[in-house]
Amino acid sequence: MDMLILVPKTTNRLHYIFDLIIKELLGISYKFTTDNETFTSYDGPKLHYGNNQFWSEPFQKATDILFQHDIAEKDIKIIEYKDVKAIFPVYNEKSIFPFDIFAASFYIVTRYEEYLPHINDKFDRFQAKDSILVKMNMLEKPLVNIWAIELGNILTAIYPDLKLKKKTFTFVPTYDVDAAWAYKNKGIFRTTAAFARDIINLDFKECKRRWKSIIGYDSDPFDTFDHQLELQKELHLHPKYFILCGEYDLNDKNITLRNTNFQNLIKRLGDYANVGIHPSYSSYLNKEKVKTEVTNLSKVLNREITMSRQHFLRLRLPLSYQILIDLDITDDYSMGYATLAGFRAGIADTFKFFDLEHDNVTNLNIHPFALMDGTMRDYLDLNIDESYEKAAKLIQEVKNVNGTFILLWHNETLSDEKRWGGWKALYHRILDCALDKS
């Protein structure tokens, strides 16, 4: 039997967040009604989302945001709630939560604050430090999942026959291929320039390493793909790859797609894993450039490209996602911060992108990642043990809510050389932690 939910009126925002929390996270089918008499006479499980409780029905005091259509600054107040924190407090002793769980979840998941005026970083990215979750000190908690579980417990205590979805923890390893090789397949001009730079810097060790790799005497340090495929087979992993296909530029330094060795590598990866586009730094907010890169990758793989993750995680809402939707991308993996680990959208599960600009839900699936190698190494300046502790903590947070933990890694990180010395072993430790069933 459906749960009947009484609301003052229905909106796209209401449908979206109730679909996410009630249907997707809790597994409860429901329907809305705006008729008090229908609600009162209903014999099954029910929930009243509105201003004042009628009798003794489960009641959640509502705030205004889900009944609005515009985007406006909100006076965000933070309150303590059990072991976590919350926003959008309500003041009604009959309310099952002392905050509007649906409004709070909507604000965080839709990235509402990223539509408001803010100052971007030097890469034109929303800054993690400005996030409400950082201000709450809750970025490393999947708050929306935690709140949803609490709601499920409350509802099943009232309606014991109500059955909730049985969720299980899922681990998804992903790789960004920004540079398939460190030395090989760079072309005569890039290779000559690299040798010249080594000589000018009197770095003869690097010069020798480069030469031995190019002639095939040594392996290329970034060519860790055999090892990745071995892990995939041994541990039954299902990784996803995102390939940088843009033309060479200051921040886009992968191999040209015209190189047959690069094409063969991409095809090989595509034989064993799902492959998506890694829209280049220079294609940011440029639909035609993104389209060209998607088309070129599609030609190499001889299949449609439906997955994406932005290079440098350059993501501007809603335009970046609108471009992907127009290009028939169905799944994006960019939802996370480069500078901090945690849950940018406050959730450890896939969700639909809600376009606040057009006030409607879309068919673009957002897959938030929780942790990136470069975040720990370059932004947080963590050592190997500290990085493992960070990863283990986040994995446990996701396991606690039976969510999905998505890890962002790079092929070069597994080289175990130079700045990435020790990180291959760290990756194995993280895999062991994620795959530990205990």
Given the structure tokens 């940011």, which residue do they identify?
284
Please report whether residue 416 resides in a domain: yes
| Residue 187 within any structural domain of the chain | no
pLDDT digits (tens, 9 = 90+) for 73-89: 999 999 999 999 999 99
In a domain, 282, yes or no: yes
Residue 142 lies in a domain: yes
414 plus 306 within the same structural domain: yes
Let me know whether 30 and 105 are in one domain.
yes
Among 64, 55, 56, which residue's Cα sits nearest to residue 8? 64
**Per residue in 63-79, is it b (16+ CB within 10 Å) or e — as a string?**
bebbbeeeeeebeeebe
3-state helix, strand, coil in the chain (%, to 5): 40, 15, 45
**Which H or E element spans position 195?**
helix 188-200
Q: Which pLDDT belongs to residue 438? A: 56
Question: Cβ contacts of residue 164 below 8 Å, gap of 6+?
Answer: 26, 27, 28, 152, 156
- Would you place residue 46 in the very low, low, confident or very high pLDDT band (cuts 50, 70, 90)? very high
Range of the domain at 58: 3-158
Whether residue 412 sits in one domain with residue 273? yes
Task: Please indicate, yes or no, if residue 212 is contained in any of the structural domains.
Answer: no
pLDDT surpassing 60 at residue 288: yes
Per-residue pLDDT band at 93 (split at 50, 70, 90): very high
Question: Is 138 in the same domain as 226?
Answer: no
**Does residue 334 lie within any of the structural domains?**
yes
Single-letter code of the amino acid located at 419: R
Domain CATH for 301: 3.20.20.370
- The count of structural domains within the chain is 2
Find, among 114, 133, 122, the residue nearest to 340 by Cα: 133
What are the pLDDT digits (tens) for 253-281?
999 999 999 999 999 999 999 999 999 99
- Contacts for 156 with CB less than 8 Å, ≥ 6 apart: 162, 164
pLDDT digits (tens, 9 = 90+) for 207-258: 888 888 888 888 999 999 999 999 999 999 999 999 999 999 999 999 999 9
pLDDT(70) > 80? yes
Q: Per-residue confidence at 189, pLDDT binned at 50, 70, 90? A: confident
Tell whether 51 and 81 lie within a shared domain: yes
DSSP conformational letter for 317: T
> Could you give the CA distance from residue 297 to residue 263 in angstroms, rounded to a whole number?
9
Looking at the fold, whether 10 and 106 belong to one and the same domain comes out as: yes
Strands 78-81 and 84-87: antiparallel
233 and 322: one domain?
yes
Distance CA 188, CA 126 (A): 38
- Between helices 287-301 and 319-326, what is the axis angle to 10°? 40
Q: Is the overall model pTM greater than 0.95, yes or no?
A: yes
Regarding whether 108 and 243 lie in a shared domain, the answer is no
Q: Residue 257 falls within a domain, yes or no? A: yes
Q: Are residues 104 and 250 in the same domain?
A: no
Checking 51-55 for CB contacts under 8 A at 24+ apart, the result is 51/8, 52/92, 52/94, 53/92, 53/94
The answer as to whether 298 is a domain residue is: yes
CA dist 118 → 106, 123, 129, 131, 274 (Å): 19, 14, 11, 10, 35
Per-residue confidence (pLDDT) for residue 216, from 0 to 100: 84
Which has the minimum average pLDDT: 41-45, 139-143, 200-204, 431-435? 200-204
Q: Are residues 116 and 178 in the same domain?
A: no
- d(Cα 435, Cα 437) in Å, to the nearest integer? 6
**Is 270 in the same domain as 388?**
yes
SS3 state at 308: strand
Tell me the two tokens of residue 74: 């909100």
| 111 and 17 housed in the same domain | yes
